[in-house]
Amino acid sequence: MTLTPEWYLLLAAALFTIGAVGVLIRRNAIVLFMCVELMLNAANLALVTFSRINGTLDGQIIAFFVMVVAAAEVVVGLAIIMSIFRTRRSASVDDSNLLKY
């Protein structure tokens, strides 16, 4: 038996699902960020697989860009979490309801 790149795509779908479920069931904002990273990684894996399927390197370059955006997102997100923690003394996403109508 030889495995086709569809298996990579299935793996990417599984990782994305784990991340999505994690974002929905976890309460701590930092674990939420870890789950977002999982989802971004699943997207990256799919991009690199597409690059392999299509025979070009464009997918890998877009994966780089996704990584850079992910790094920027983590930096800004953690700054916001710190700021919320300073005022609310809690990192739980259920406690930050300031913008809730």
Partner 1 sequence: MTVADALLLGLGAVAVGAGALVVTTAHLVRAGLYLVVCLGAVAGLYLVLTAELVAWVQVLIYVGAVVVLLLFAVMLTRAPIGASADLDRPGLPALLVGGGASLGLAALLVDAYRWSSVPAPAPGTAEVLGAQLFRSWVLPFEVLSVLLLAALVGAIIVSRPDIGGGGR
What residues numbered 80-99 form the site for partner 1, per CB under 8 A? 80-83, 85-87, 91-92, 94
Give the shortest CB-95-to-partner 1 separation in angstroms. 11
3-state secondary structure of 2: coil
- For residue 99, give the H/E element and its range: none
CA distances from 95 to 30, 75, 78, 85, 100 (A): 14, 21, 16, 10, 11
**Cα 17 from Cα 21, distance rounded (Å):** 6
Q: Compare residues 35 and 97 and give the one whose CB is closer to partner 1.
A: 35
Q: Compare residues 24 and 99 and give the one whose CB is closer to partner 1.
A: 24
Could you say whether residue 51 binds partner 1 (CB under 8 A)? Answer: yes
x-or-dash string of contact with partner 1, 2-31, rule CB under 8 A: xxxxxxxxxxxxxxxxxxxxx-xxxxx-xx
Give the shortest CB-42-to-partner 1 separation in angstroms. 8
